[in-house]
Structure 1
Amino acid sequence: MEVKEEESSGTPLELFLKIGLDERTARNTIANNKVTNNLTAVIHEAGVTEGCNRTIGNLLYTVATKYPANAVIHRPTLLGYIVSTKIKTPAQLEAAFSFLSSTASESFELKEFEEACGVGVDVSEEDIEQAVNEVFKQNKGSILELRYRINVGDLFGHVRKRLPWADPRIVKKLIDAKLYELLGERTAADNEKPSKQKKEKPAKVEDKKVADENPVQPAEDLNPFLIFPNPEENFKVHTEVFFSNRPVLRCCNTKEVLDKHLKRTSGKVYTRFPPEPNGYLHIGHAKAMFVSFGLAKERGGCCYLRYDDTNPEAEKKEYIDHIEEIVEWMGWKPFKITYTSDYFQELYELAVELIRRGHAYVDHQTPEEIKEYREKKMDSPWRDRPISESLELFEEMRRGMIEEGKATLRMKQDMQSDNGNMYDLIAYRIKFTPHPHSGDKWCIYPSYDYAHCIVDSLEDITHSLCTLEFETRRASYYWLLDVLDLYQPYVWEYSRLNVTNTVMSKRKLNFLVTNKHVDGWDDPRLMTLAGLKRRGVTSTAINAFVRGIGITRSDCSTIRLERLEYHIREELNRTAPRTMVVMQPLKVVISNLESGLVMDLDAKKWPDASTEDSSAFYKVPFSRVVYIEQSDFRMKDSKDYYGLAPGKSVLLRYAFPIKCTEVVLADDNKSIVEIRAEYDPSKKTKPKGVIHWVAEPSREVDPLSIEVRLFDKLFNSENPAELEDWLADVNPQSRVVISGAYAVPSLRDAAAGDRFQFERLGYFVVDKDSTPERLVFNRTVTLRDNYSKSGK
């Protein structure tokens, strides 16, 4: 391994290489300032600045990246056990983390700690071999059946249960050896993917619309909220704020502050859902709602709906009304609806106090200058102005005596920090814009970075939950609450939800709406919740989708659209009544049926319902003239085609078999005018093909004519937001309108929002554009389920 001298001498890189990290890991670590600071501190605490073996070094790296923040006081003790090799395996280290994170006091019994971590427990290779033999004996049948397709991780887990302190490398070596002993060399068949057993097809394939195998863990089996601590645990260190010129700030509540908080809240969980009212909510907000409202509901607590209305220029009453409506539609009931603007007076008074304590100053730099100075880590020329002067100028800002853009209030944080969110963030700016909620009372408005954490504290939030892009703002969040001596909520970040083939940025969504690329915020092609609702997606399907994803910190949460569609089908297959619609009608005249005769046939709304349940059926008229899909007829037949063709029979669903006897062509001998057929009222004919249809009840009454809108993915690419010309990726076939579709008469009374399964075609909902004269249906999702097949 070669390292340039100028890079290694006296740098963190040299330290990381000395403890046995490979060069790639060491360099990747240096790219992360937080981990670099943590690992450097751990190496010094452990006293191994001159180096150690790789096993110890890897354990030290794990401490630097995963050590529980609330147990920092105990870290030197743990490092002593690692360096002395009393703790020498990842399993022991994980046990130590668990023990120390649950230790509230400054001291603990070393004997209990050692017992919990397996210190002094020696597991010989003979012990491991015996455990492996026992596991193989118990699972021999499965191993012989699956061979090398067996889940080795499961075998490893069984051994781990027997010997938790066994060396994992030896366990893996012995399991591999035992597999070879039992099975011999791998064969070509061992490398093939196992084929799924085909299940017996039902008599009528149309009744089966959902995949036999469900790749998604049922939502009711998950409890994603177990990861969150209880309010009474909120005395632990939340996070560490690293300063360039003073000791690390370990942020936590004092016992006195926490006791007062618990008294005010009666120990309940308090969360908040804080949308900014500058646009419509999208499916990413559905996850945010599920996390915050869901945690409060699961713990018997309270969740605020709080409008983050600190930017009056971008906010509208329309958006405020929409948010309240959509939160209710999603099934959540706020404990209380509040606005950040409700706290403008308290926020202003705390800003004055911040100046008095020497932690804020009035600045006159332009936005461009602020950006340049931050990039160069340079202090503002006004950073050290007298406190009295900043107080006077801030009062002038409040009274409207300073022009917009000529002054801001900035927090005096740490311009030399490795965290850019500590570069003297703006707390207040001047905007001579009336506020949609507070009117024209204020001309200075707080920033998100200043207001958010303070309002969390004022509302006694126990769990401040947000997405991972806010993680670097933790330092600023806790720094501000610390310098103002305010109660500190527990902050936890989770991965944001992104879905393929769409854009989630409010800026891009606003551009699409404003520039008429879509038909408003509720266009069914958008992943806005209003768009999904209009498309016929239910809130319960969305919540099941979000619950199935879970709440993790894994920042790779781009989910395939097919996974959402899976949950939509799962629900609609159970709840949407069936009916028949023909999209592209082709006329069929049944010549051996009496003209004018109409028969009412029973058609099933619910395929699995009892035949004794009259509500499970609806009446479908059958007459001499019926319409079928153009795609269900071919002039030339083939073995793999089950539709109608000259001289061939098909079964009209719920009715009779018909046989094509003649094809009437137009004058050009190309286009088909109508098909003539004969039907078999005895039903002795048993054709393979089954097609849907719509009848013409009589010569005077046409079938119910409807408009059908077929919606598809809005963008062709999975990640259009990453494209330079993302608008060019819009799918031109994302919306196709069919104006001449025919439906059965029973749909005549359908109302906006009613959902149906059009047999063989998909799931549809009645659109709000419908009129008494003409019904409009939006396709919610197709019948075909790609997700359950791919499992992705």
Structure 2
Amino acid sequence: MEVKEEESSGTPLELFLKIGLDERTARNTIANNKVTNNLTAVIHEAGVTEGCNRTIGNLLYTVATKYPANAVIHRPTLLGYIVSTKIKTPAQLEAAFSFLSSTASESFELKEFEEACGVGVDVSEEDIEQAVNEVFKQNKGSILELRYRINVGDLFGHVRKRLPWADPRIVKKLIDAKLYELLGERTAADNEKPSKQKKEKPAKVEDKKVADENPVQPAEDLNPFLIFPNPEENFKVHTEVFFSNRPVLRCCNTKEVLDKHLKRTSGKVYTRFPPEPNGYLHIGHAKAMFVSFGLAKERGGCCYLRYDDTNPEAEKKEYIDHIEEIVEWMGWKPFKITYTSDYFQELYELAVELIRRGHAYVDHQTPEEIKEYREKKMDSPWRDRPISESLELFEEMRRGMIEEGKATLRMKQDMQSDNGNMYDLIAYRIKFTPHPHSGDKWCIYPSYDYAHCIVDSLEDITHSGI
């Protein structure tokens, strides 16, 4: 189908059609911002912005949707193998994903990679035909009984076990030909669905009652913590950050950093139950306790009770005491009780470092102006002020020289993003209110958005639950 000029010129749609995607797939893709950004980046990395054949294009699409992000450093290498047709089948690509996911950001020998992916292994049509004949010989009875109602996928799978790098198109062609050779023309009966055999009723009512009383439960129901990975699998953890004006940022710790983390934790699970001490606990907190304390207990790990006390105006010693009492009443025992305010100095120093690197700025907009500018996707007029000026003003904020409500520290993110969480979130604000835990040492306080994830890192949290 011809693409309209206004849609095609320089658009992702045109780019996706050039690599051989059918128009329906291409249009579905551009409806998903994440896949669109990934596929666009993959096409540019592969150097095929002017187009390629459909086989390569389909493999590139699979890379964009399934590539292990913890090994993104090796993606250009894989794309080189695809474009040069050294990797040319879905089976080879899946093997590459498995190899690279285990390798993560570590270097590897190309020879090992090629062996794992079947690079250079040429499977002839004669080899495939021989494998198909063997599979048909072993399954002849079932094929003659079921005829064209046989599960062709099973036959395909048996051939793939013998020849994992065989071209699937040739495999299908030869299986279809062999079926025709053995069975002849398809009949009307071959198109009928096989009749379902009626299940025999249990002989005794008592037997059914026992079965109902003891149903087989899925493993996840018996142990809801099975879904959580072990700490040593942390190399698979990654975060993708999408920007409106630059490539996707993929955050992944180095092996050295992860190894040091595992050494500090002795490979144990570390979780936290982090309520804000600004009210009484409710049923949602009970669920959060079960996940955090329960996972740590099930894995022989540790769970902090951490008070996320970043808002001194709403927090009281009464709530702190109540929370500790309820946690104990629920039967949980914290590994350690901490406060976000224990880390105020570290959080402050990291905020200064953000400013120095050009990633944060002191802003003077009112809450109403911030809301308006976010709705209009407009930058604050103070966003691009000199770094030295923001450093000086932030120090004045810390020393109590600026009135409450007259300045905040905001993180530079992406005001043009479709994600509202990217609209330059506030990291620090001024509050001349004594803190129930840290007293009157500070008059600037970090926001929950800024502090929560940083303290998780400082406390070596391995699993961030609810």
TM-score > 0.5 by shorter chain? yes
CA distance in 1 between counterparts of 2:141 and 2:284 reads 45
1:791/1:49 CA distance change after superposition, 3 Å: closer
Higher mean alpha-carbon deviation, 360-369 vs 287-296, is at 287-296
2:184 aligned residue: 184
What displacement does 1:116 show? 0.8
TM-superposition CA deviations, 1:394-438 (whole Å, max 9, x none): 455556665554432211334455655343211123456776766
> Tell me, what secondary structure is at the counterpart of 1:87?
coil
TM-score (norm 2): 0.76
1:332/1:185 CA distance change after superposition, 3 Å: farther
CA contact (8 A) 1:46 1:79 kept: yes
CA distance in 2 between counterparts of 1:134 and 1:224 reads 44
Q: Does 1:455 align with 2:455?
A: yes
1:426 aligned residue: 426
Q: Which runs of 5+ in 1 are unaligned?
A: 464-789
> Tell me, what secondary structure is at the counterpart of 1:119?
coil
TM-superposition CA deviations, 1:204-261 (whole Å, max 9, x none): 8488557659986531799987887765675788345566677765534456644543
What displacement does 1:85 show? 1.5
Higher mean alpha-carbon deviation, 14-23 vs 233-242, is at 233-242
> Tell me, what secondary structure is at the counterpart of 2:250?
strand
> Tell me, what secondary structure is at the counterpart of 1:267?
coil
TM-superposition CA deviations, 1:592-619 (whole Å, max 9, x none): xxxxxxxxxxxxxxxxxxxxxxxxxxxx
What displacement does 1:148 show? 7.8
CA contact (8 A) 2:17 2:23 kept: yes
1:169/1:285 CA distance change after superposition, 3 Å: farther
Higher strand share: 1
What displacement does 1:348 show? 3.2
Question: Percent same amino acid at aligned positions?
Answer: 100
1:228/1:46 CA distance change after superposition, 3 Å: farther
1:222 aligned residue: 222
Q: How many residues align?
A: 466
TM-superposition CA deviations, 1:57-96 (whole Å, max 9, x none): 0111111222222323322221121112221111100111
TM-superposition CA deviations, 1:457-510 (whole Å, max 9, x none): 1102234xxxxxxxxxxxxxxxxxxxxxxxxxxxxxxxxxxxxxxxxxxxxxxx
TM-superposition CA deviations, 1:674-732 (whole Å, max 9, x none): xxxxxxxxxxxxxxxxxxxxxxxxxxxxxxxxxxxxxxxxxxxxxxxxxxxxxxxxxxx
1:268 aligned residue: 268
TM-superposition CA deviations, 1:170-206 (whole Å, max 9, x none): 4456666777888899999999999998887779848
RMSD, aligned α-carbons: 5.4
CA contact (8 A) 1:70 1:238 kept: yes
CA distance in 2 between counterparts of 1:358 and 1:304 reads 33
What displacement does 1:113 show? 1.6
1:373/1:105 CA distance change after superposition, 3 Å: closer
1:146 aligned residue: 146
CA distance in 2 between counterparts of 1:276 and 1:359 reads 27
> Tell me, what secondary structure is at the counterpart of 1:27?
helix
1:154/1:62 CA distance change after superposition, 3 Å: same
CA contact (8 A) 1:236 1:253 kept: no
CA contact (8 A) 1:261 1:460 kept: yes
CA contact (8 A) 2:292 2:465 kept: no
CA distance in 1 between counterparts of 2:146 and 2:152 reads 11
- Between 1 and 2, higher relative CO (CA 8 Å, sep ≥ 6) is seen in 2
CA distance in 2 between counterparts of 1:379 and 1:52 reads 40
What displacement does 1:114 show? 1.6
> Tell me, what secondary structure is at the counterpart of 1:209?
helix
1:370/1:135 CA distance change after superposition, 3 Å: farther
CA contact (8 A) 1:270 1:302 kept: yes
Higher mean alpha-carbon deviation, 345-354 vs 50-59, is at 345-354
CA distance in 1 between counterparts of 2:323 and 2:196 reads 45
Higher mean alpha-carbon deviation, 303-312 vs 116-125, is at 303-312
> Tell me, what secondary structure is at the counterpart of 1:310?
coil
> Tell me, what secondary structure is at the counterpart of 1:211?
helix
TM-superposition CA deviations, 1:92-127 (whole Å, max 9, x none): 001111222333676533222221111222334554
CA contact (8 A) 1:308 1:340 kept: yes
CA distance in 1 between counterparts of 2:360 and 2:43 reads 36
Greater C-alpha radius of gyration: 1
> Tell me, what secondary structure is at the counterpart of 1:234?
helix
What displacement does 1:50 show? 1.2
CA distance in 2 between counterparts of 1:48 and 1:196 reads 51
1:261/1:185 CA distance change after superposition, 3 Å: same
What displacement does 1:353 show? 4.0
CA distance in 2 between counterparts of 1:6 and 1:231 reads 50
CA distance in 1 between counterparts of 2:277 and 2:210 reads 38
1:366/1:146 CA distance change after superposition, 3 Å: farther
1:393/1:99 CA distance change after superposition, 3 Å: same
1:317 aligned residue: 317
CA distance in 2 between counterparts of 1:399 and 1:110 reads 57
1:53/1:353 CA distance change after superposition, 3 Å: closer
> Tell me, what secondary structure is at the counterpart of 2:20?
coil
1:351/1:132 CA distance change after superposition, 3 Å: same
CA distance in 2 between counterparts of 1:374 and 1:166 reads 54
1:115/1:357 CA distance change after superposition, 3 Å: closer
1:79/1:371 CA distance change after superposition, 3 Å: same
CA distance in 2 between counterparts of 1:131 and 1:221 reads 42
Q: Which runs of 5+ in 2 are unaligned?
A: none
1:198/1:50 CA distance change after superposition, 3 Å: closer
What displacement does 1:451 show? 0.7
TM-superposition CA deviations, 1:519-568 (whole Å, max 9, x none): xxxxxxxxxxxxxxxxxxxxxxxxxxxxxxxxxxxxxxxxxxxxxxxxxx
1:401/1:90 CA distance change after superposition, 3 Å: same
1:96/1:288 CA distance change after superposition, 3 Å: farther
> Tell me, what secondary structure is at the counterpart of 1:304?
strand
1:155/1:352 CA distance change after superposition, 3 Å: same
1:147/1:299 CA distance change after superposition, 3 Å: farther
CA distance in 2 between counterparts of 1:47 and 1:348 reads 44
CA contact (8 A) 2:268 2:300 kept: yes
